[in-house]
Chain A
Amino acid sequence: MSWSDVIGADALIPLLVATLRLAIPTMLAAVGECFCERSGVLNLGLEGMMLTGALAAFVGGHHTGSAAVGAVSGTLAGGLLAVVLGCFVVRGKVDQVVAGIAVVLLAQGVTALAYLRLFSSATTPPSVDGSPPIAIPLLEEIPVLGPVLFRQTALVYASMAMVAVLAWALFRTRFGLSLRAAGESPAAADAAGIRVERVRWIALTVSGAMAGLGGAVLIDQLELFRENVTAGRGWVAIAIVILVRWNPVGAILGALLFGFTDALQFRIQSAAGGVETAVPFELFQALPYLVTLLVVVASALHFKTRAQPRALGVPYDR
């Protein structure tokens, strides 16, 4: 096989474009999850929120023909499901692991029912129109980065902005400070006048909305919905958060790494042209997960210090 088809000069830009495309939905969910876990709430319902967001985006986009309406409904639906989870974990103070997993089940059941109900009579599977790419003058001229970053859809620009805003808010605003305090030492935060429960509500809802937006971006890329269309991206996002030690900037890079390995392995498979390689192609399929696993181990060995918010997963009762 020819490696120049995979990583040669002509292949580089398509490879990076694919990396970004595969990374964005997971990235949105992962950055949102960072935000949420930093406040002390473990949102294990992320996969369900992405899926619900995907369905809502599809329904919204299908009925109005507008990708923007789709994105907004996806974001709202993800946030709404986070509010449902919040009733249990923030207000009800039940176990966050159990409630999160239950919310994923709930979302899988409900989206399947709703899709069946709404579209079962259609003879041709319904679709939506994806939003068109918009090139940004001048910036798109930058070698390599220009075509990769600045010939994207409005939705992707909005996503990148959201990710940047959240990362900035967490470290550079008063609210971010309160949020981190709620996750590290809720009792001390409370004593300092921070309303821990309110902060956690906001963080959880934001993470649901981000996951919903991730689902919406996925739908915008695919232009279709199928049962379980998110296929585990929410779980991968949770893994990335732990991998990057609860750092939103790290989460961006983690999602890109995952997307890059996936994009790369498809290109290696194609370049092999069906000729049985010495390495079985199942290894390529497993590559994104294997690489993430190795990075998790390597980074833990490298950093040695604990990064996990101290109150993660612990409900706060005044």
Chain B
Amino acid sequence: MTASSLVEPPTVADDLAPALESARGERWRPLLGTIVAVAVALALGAGLLLISGADPVSSYAALLDGAVGSRRAIELLLVQSVPLLIMGLGLCAAYRARVWNIGTEGQFQVGALGAGAFLLLTPLGSSPIAIPAAMLVGAAAGGILAWSIGALRARWEINEVVTSLLSNYVVLFGVAYVVRKPLRDQTSGASLQSERIPDVAALPTLPGSRVHIGLVLALVLVPLLLWALTRTPFGMRVRMVGMNADAAEAAGVATRSVIARTMLISGLLAGLAGAIQVMGVELRLTTSMSTGIGFTAIVVALLGRLHPLGVVFSALLIAGLSVGGNVMQLRVGVPNAVVLVIEALIVLFVVLANRRGLLAGGSR
């Protein structure tokens, strides 16, 4: 059994056991394949650069230098990768169950909105517990939104792709309203934004660096998700639902609850990422808080092959490409849209190399 469907692929329960078995046997093959695929994509990208008149060596050197060439660059890269990593981890849970949450963008924004509103409107916002409390509020906001979408799917089979996709737009206009009216910073004459969050709620940075502690939280979530998805009965059920929901149901798995819960997890983490972005980077609510980070996180999760460790690498890779792409334009004059093309090529070749299945398992 290979790839994904929007709901369940028609296979029989007997496929499950050998599929899970063979996954353990070939741990390193996907990694090797991925490396080859990235190399092929970069080589094609080099061809694109070459024929377009830029020197690929100096272009890639500039890209690399921009991403990791200085201490400050690395710090920015890490900050940039935090929301991608957190959201990518959450999506691992949902996508492993073949629950296609396309609404992380909206859940991220709702999380940011919840955290921001909490910090600006309640007295707790300027109290010592402001940071953890706002994270909880943000996560809850994202979680509730995602859970509702998951519940619609679980209870009435309402396709989550369409509901989560449409919810992004609705949230976008909600945020636009909130920063225009109720939470508007009346002192700013130039842009539409909320007031600045209280100073106690700004995330502290790691000693001797500019990287906010959201990174630590993100890194703690990695083993947690890894454990939950690979070492627990819940993780097993998620995989069974992803491989064949009908068979899983027949085997006694409460598929509805798995669907709603994986959706909840991805929403909680997307909301948390939004809260962290507000407290660690933006420090206020704006209409330009997210520039499609939620969509990029989908690419991160898929490129990381829905494995928490893979997501660490893909979050760094994607963040590095976007940071480095601007520098490549700065130094070599290559339009940074090249980076989008390279990103797309990497994704395409990585899936091609791993075409035995996204869900780390089956072959026919």
Known A95-B4, A102-B351, A283-B173: A314·B10 in contact at CB below 8 Å: yes
Stretch at the interface among A20-28, A199-207, A305-313: A305-313
Q: How far is the CB of A140 from chain B (nearest CB, A)?
A: 36
- Confirm or deny: B121 has a beta carbon within 8 angstroms of a beta carbon on chain A: no
Across the interface, which residues of A come within 8 angstroms of B170, CB to CB?
A: 286, 289-290, 293
Alpha-carbon separation in the docked complex, A198 to B299 (Å) = 29
Q: Which residues of the other chain, A, contact B341 by a CB distance below 8 angstroms?
A: 105-106, 109-110, 113
B177 touches A282 (CB 8 A): yes
Q: Which residues from chain A contact B343 at a C-beta distance below 8 Å?
A: 105, 109
Best-buried of B163, B169, B338 by chain A (most CB within 10 Å): B169
Majority secondary structure of chain B interface residues (helix, strand, loop or mixed): helix
Give the nearest-CB partner of B337 in chain A.
A112
Q: Give the residues from 1 to 22 in chain B that come closer than 8 angstroms, CB to CB, to chain A.
A: 2-7, 9-10
Q: Which of B7, B159, B163, B347 contacts A98 (CB 8 A)?
A: B347
A242 to B162, CA, bound (A): 7
Measured between alpha carbons, how far is A185 from B167 in the docked complex, in Å? 32
Q: Which of A94, A110, A113, A313 contacts B6 (CB 8 A)?
A: A313
Most chain A CB neighbours (cut-off 10 Å) among B7, B9, B162, B355:
B162
Q: Which of A141-149, A153-161, A171-179, A296-304 contacts B (4 or more CB under 8 A)?
A: A296-304
Question: Quick one: CB contact mask for B156-183 with A, threshold 8 Å, 1 for yes?
Answer: 1111011101110110111011001100
Q: Mark A266-306, 1 if CB is under 8 A from B, else 0.
A: 00000000000000101101100110110011001100101
B231 contacts the other chain (CB 8 A): no
A285 to B161, CA, bound (A): 21
Interface residues of A in 108-129 (CB under 8 A from B): 108-110, 112-113, 116-117
- Would you give the shortest CB distance from A121 to chain B, in whole angstroms? 14
In the complex, which of the residues B5, B165, B177, B347 contacts A101, with contact meaning CB atoms closer than 8 Å? B347
Q: Would you call A103 an interface residue if the criterion is a C-beta within 8 Å of the partner chain's C-beta atoms? A: yes
Q: How far is the CB of B4 from chain A (nearest CB, A)?
A: 5
Once A94-B3, A238-B161, A296-B162 are accepted as A-B contacts, the answer to whether A99 and B351 lie under 8 Å apart by CB is yes
Give Cα distance in the complex from A251 to B348, angstroms: 30
Specify which chain B residues have a CB less than 8 angstroms from the CB of A311 in the assembled complex: 5, 9-10
A109 and B337 contacting across the interface, CB-CB below 8 Å: yes
Quote the shortest CB–CB distance from B300 to chain A (angstroms).
11
A239 near B173: Cβ-Cβ < 8 Å: no
B362 to chain A, nearest CB (A): 12
Residue pair A293, B161 in contact (C-beta under 8 Å) = no
| Residues A88 and B299 in contact, CB atoms below 8 Å apart | no
Size band of the A side of the interface?
A: 35 or more
Specify which chain B residues have a CB less than 8 angstroms from the CB of A88 in the assembled complex: 348, 351-352
Q: How far is the CA of A103 from the CA of B347 in the complex (A)?
A: 9
Measured between alpha carbons, how far is A105 from B347 in the docked complex, in Å? 10
Q: Are A285 and B173 in contact (CB under 8 A)?
A: yes
Q: Is A300 touching B156 in the complex (CB atoms < 8 A)?
A: yes
Query: For the complex, is A256 an interface residue (Cβ under 8 Å from B)?
Result: no
Task: Give the complex CA separation of A88 and B345 in angstroms.
Answer: 12
The distance from the CB of B321 to the nearest CB of chain A, in whole angstroms, is 11
- Contact assessment for A106 and B345 in the assembled complex, using a CB-CB cutoff below 8 Å: yes
Question: Residues of B contacting A93 with CB < 8 Å?
Answer: 2-3, 355
- A-facing residues in B327-364 (Cβ within 8 Å): 335, 337-345, 347-348, 351-352, 355, 357-358, 364
Asked if B38 CB lies within 8 Å of chain A CBs, one says no
B164 → chain A closest CB, angstroms: 10
With contacts A113-B335, A289-B166 taken as known, whether A97 is within 8 angstroms of B352 at the C-beta atoms is no
Q: In the bound complex, what is the Cα–Cα distance between A37 and B249 (angstroms)?
A: 26
Take A92-B352, A239-B162, A242-B162 as given contacts and tell me if A297 and B152 are in contact as well, using a CB distance cutoff of 8 Å. Answer: yes
B144, chain A: closest CB distance, angstroms: 16
Contact A108 B298 (CB under 8 A): no
Q: A88-B351, A101-B347, A313-B6 are in contact. Are A282 and B358 (CB under 8 A)?
A: no
Instruction: Please list the residues of chain B having a beta carbon within 8 angstroms of any beta carbon in chain A.
Output: 2-7, 9-10, 52, 100, 152, 156-159, 161-163, 165-167, 169-170, 172-174, 176-177, 180-181, 298-299, 302, 335, 337-345, 347-348, 351-352, 355, 357-358, 364
Interface pairs (5), CB distance under 8 Å: A102-B299, A280-B180, A292-B166, A311-B5, A313-B3
